[in-house]
Structure 1
């Protein structure tokens, strides 16, 4: 019986040591679990921040897309207007060239008339006195 009490004491000490070990492991597991929960909270807050950033980016992208679409429409309108103006300017240039050519012809005819007029004027002057008081002959 004495053996059984010694065995019982050793068993109790072994059980106590085992319980102490289990308690240490439990404390370690709890500490690890607490760290994991803290990390989980950090990750969740980071994910929320990323989601907010993505949502903001999506709205800004939509706004940018709308602005870009409007700019494209305006660019197309300006391009069409530039083409129309270019055609009008080319037509105006053609009309100006025609007017210049006609003006050149008219000036050539007019110069010929001026020469004829000057010749007639010179002939008429020789017959008349150069001033009323004097006689050039």
Structure 2
């Protein structure tokens, strides 16, 4: 089956809430993703197979030179099929068409081979302060 990848694709909040709950292992929430991404994001990428949402990534930005990969999601049943790599590749290609100079991503250590190896991000020094 062929995947359909779409920049700034339409989605229902319930789809993203269910996908986020599955991918990040929590109970489904009732967040208004549509309003959030339309207000704060440069764009987002949706991947569908036979109409079903099987991948999503949000590309937030500061309104200027910096864009940020957030909430990259592919459910376990669809992992290891190149879907996440295609999500990130589409996001990178779209950000390169803008005035942004940098695309940032934070990730957990086990995702280092994916982001630095498969997707071509370069390692950087960064800082973090937990607030909760």
Using the size of structure 1 for normalisation, the TM-score is 0.16
Higher helix share: 1
Q: Which has the higher contact order (CA 8 A, sep 6+)?
A: 2
Using the size of structure 2 for normalisation, the TM-score is 0.16
